[in-house]
Amino acid sequence: MTRPDLNLLVTLDVLLQEGNVTRAGERLNLSPSAMSRALARLRMTTGDPLLVRAGRGLVPTPHALELRERVGQLVQEAEAALGPPETVDLAGLVKTFTLRTSDGFVESFGPDLVSRVCEKAPGVRLRFMQKVNTDVASLRDGTTDLEIGVVDKTNEVRTEPLFTDHFVGVIRMGHPLTRARITPVRYASGSHIRVSRRGVERGAIDDALRPYGMERQIAVIVGGFAAALALARTSDLIATVPERHTSNLRADMHTFPLPFPTPEITVSMLWHPRLEVDPAHRWLRACVRRVCTDSDVGVTLASPKALS
């Protein structure tokens, strides 16, 4: 069985609304002759004349009158299905979003994000999952809706930078390092905590120290910033962590600028392309973006001069 040309639905809808071939052609940007040919095809397809001559105009047949409302609804539904997603009803939205992040992000930005989401969409629940690797498989299979972190090169997912961050040193109050100016030598000679999800012993900070001919003494390797700062808070160990990412975690601790240049890091959000235009997901991304923009999580660092 030959399938009918569904494009004729739009033509039929306009013809039945106008009851005039010329006016219908103007709305569809078709010439009168092209519209006449379209009407002939519609008559053949439906087996009904649809519009018949009455004086100088055309009048619909009984079958055309029956079709008018149905065809109009079909065209509206098709346009809605093929058009951009509608705006989401936040008040009625019931959904759980899974975000894969570091512990530092949850501590620093989580409270504001939860507050913003609950205020606008009380039926939405946020599930924060620990980011243990840089694999995007969870975004691909849909178990994660949004990921926050430093981006590895990938063409598979969408990314958007949220903010830049830089490393700072963190020690307990009253630590011996606070008694004099912190130099590269004094920094490197202490006992350090290395943060690495994969347990790697050396990283960007060690690379930055290498031109000075120095090397950190790594006493402990942990998988996250929260663990590093918890250890530094109750010992003489030195933690080196991103400033903005760990603002709340560093409360009641001494934070100092590193006495040598280190590379900045860019924290981004990542999502799968299939969620690019989803209204609810776009709203979630806007919430994360706003929280990271509005949050003033930085602190005034003690300068090396002030410690001399």
Q: Residue 295: what pLDDT?
A: 63
> Which residue's entry shows tokens 């926050």?
148
- Cα–Cα dist 46/170, whole Å: 78
- What is the pLDDT averaged over residues 233-237? 96
Task: Specify the amino acid at residue 16.
Answer: L
* For residue 61, pLDDT beyond 80: yes
> Cα(168)–Cα(110) distance, rounded to whole angstroms?
21
User: Could you state, in order of their start, the residue ranges of all structural domains in the chain?
Assistant: 7-82, 88-308
Higher pLDDT, 169 or 7: 169
Mean pLDDT of 7-30: 88
CA distances for 208 relative to 131, 142, 191, 264, angstroms: 25, 38, 17, 12
Q: Does residue 306 have a pLDDT over 60?
A: no
Mean pLDDT, the chain, rounded, equals 86
Could you give the percent of the chain with pLDDT greater than 70?
92
Please determine, for residue 151, whether its predicted confidence score (pLDDT) is greater than 90: no
**If residue 284 lies in a helix (H) or strand (E), which one and from where to where?**
helix 279-294
Distance (Å, whole) CA 14 – CA 32: 14
CATH topology identical between 7-82 and 88-308: no
| Segment 104-129, tens digit of pLDDT | 788 889 999 999 999 999 999 999 99
**Fold adopted by 88-308:** D-Maltodextrin-Binding Protein; domain 2 (3.40.190)
Partner residues linked to 240 by β-bridges: 169
**pLDDT at 305 (0 to 100):** 35
Fold of 7-82: Arc Repressor Mutant, subunit A (1.10.10)
Q: How does residue 153 score in pLDDT terms, banded at 50, 70 and 90?
A: low
Separation of alpha carbons 294 and 147, rounded Å:
19
pLDDT at 298: 42
